[in-house]
A and B are shown apart, each in its own frame.
Chain A
Amino acid sequence: MVKKKKQTHNDAETEMMEGITITATDQEPTFATIRLNLIEISKKPNVTGYILRNSTSAVIDLKDPETLQSFAILSAEATETAEELSRLFKLGKVENILIEGKNQKIVCLSVGENKINVFMEKDASHAAIAKQLLR
């Protein structure tokens, strides 16, 4: 049987489930934390850049700045399309998007109010990158 025990301390909530402790702060990772993660991720050779934005700030880092506009348009269109599809088929909140192109791929994630788009080569492990961002 799953035992659940909740206790609150220092704005953090700890859940005990079968001996495993999962600690989740009641705040989503901050813009700064995500940015630090993205800086680490962008050092990988097959990652070509990222866009991080929320309602007040935005950070863009692309190895080829000339493609900035095209990537920004594509990311925005992907978000719009996802929302439209979710509305049409009643699928609820959009969590993430993976666009696999012939040469590159894009992972779009929402962490709280922060929107993250990571651009990478086709052979990059998008799952590992997403995991790194969501941890």
Chain B
Amino acid sequence: MSNELCTFALKTTLSEIKKVCPDLSHSLIFDKDANILATDEDTSQENATQAAHALNALIGKAEVIGGIDSTTFETAEGRVSLICTPTLRIATVASSRSEERFVTALHRVLVPTVLELAEKISQESSEEISQESLPNNFTVTEETITTEETEQSNESAVQEQPAEETIPIEDELSAEPSYPEPMATQFMIENVGGLLVSTDTVQIDNAAILQWNETYEDKKITEVEIETLSGQTTRCKFKPIKDTKHNGKGVIRIPKKVQLALQACEGELVTVKPVLEL
């Protein structure tokens, strides 16, 4: 499953839960190796990592009670709750005023559901991609077989068709590797500006760029196509976000000029596709 899609889905879920529960101050989702899968916007990566390590150390020592289902730490100024699901660990920090049962129930239901949905969407889109890229190869193979069969029947030849005849076609196909349709990634717009910032270059999460480079390793990618939810599109140059605190947050930093061209503004969602140069 695409990590970005997963992170985006979980992050959105956390911020939506926070809107419903204003007493919630921090929330984070991590896995059994303390990898942070998502945090809300008020939780720093450093704090999240330290909290995940501390909680995982506790979980690791809970075999005597059959593993941890949930944990609550009540303090003078709030409450930390940990919920363990088979695949994820969800930690929330809330004020003592918050309704713990409500907050826990929301997380227990929403987070796994959203994750499952994101997985399903990801699977379906990858199936679509493979279906789009496969038919050409299949058609050619079938045609080859049909042609061979026809030739054989016409000639009534006992001799088998030499295998070499089909090989060149396959070689021809393998010589030009088929790339999947450029994958669209969803990002949230953030403003970027300043004297040293180029007005025609957007800044994108480095993880997304690395993934594109892996997927289309032979292709040069110098531009991206950005599309808003209303269908406005533009092409522009891109570079990775240098500031690490913005990485992994599913944001694209777009200069005002490009935002105007897209008729979009900060906080809106856009899909971004790499433009593959031939």
Residues of A within 8 A of B (CB): 67, 70-71, 73-74, 77-78, 80-82, 84-86, 88-106
- B229 an interface residue at 8 Å Cβ cutoff? no
Question: What is the 8 Å Cβ interface bit string for chain B, positions 84-115, against chain A (1 contact, 0 not)?
Answer: 00000000010000000000000000000000
**Is the CB–CB distance between A93 and B76 below 8 Å?**
yes
Closest to A67 in B: B64
**Is the CB–CB distance between A101 and B74 below 8 Å?**
no
Check A89/B25 contact, CB under 8 A, given A94-B73, A97-B73, A106-B65. Answer: yes
Measured CB to CB, the closest approach of chain B to A106, in angstroms, equals 7
For chain B, the bracket of interface size reads 20 to 34
**Is the CB–CB distance between A98 and B71 below 8 Å?**
yes
Question: Which of these binds chain A: B29-37, B46-54, B220-228, B258-266?
Answer: B46-54
A-B contact pairs, 19 of them (CB 8 A): A73-B61, A77-B57, A78-B58, A78-B71, A81-B54, A82-B80, A85-B55, A85-B73, A86-B73, A86-B80, A88-B54, A91-B77, A94-B74, A98-B72, A100-B69, A101-B67, A103-B66, A104-B66, A105-B65
- Interface residues in B18-34 by Cβ distance below 8 A to A read 25-26
- B165 an interface residue at 8 Å Cβ cutoff? no
Q: Give 6 A-B pairs besides A78-B58, A98-B72 with Cβ atoms closer than 8 angstroms.
A: A73-B61, A77-B57, A81-B58, A89-B47, A92-B77, A94-B74
Q: How far is the CA of A97 from the CA of B73 in the complex (A)?
A: 5
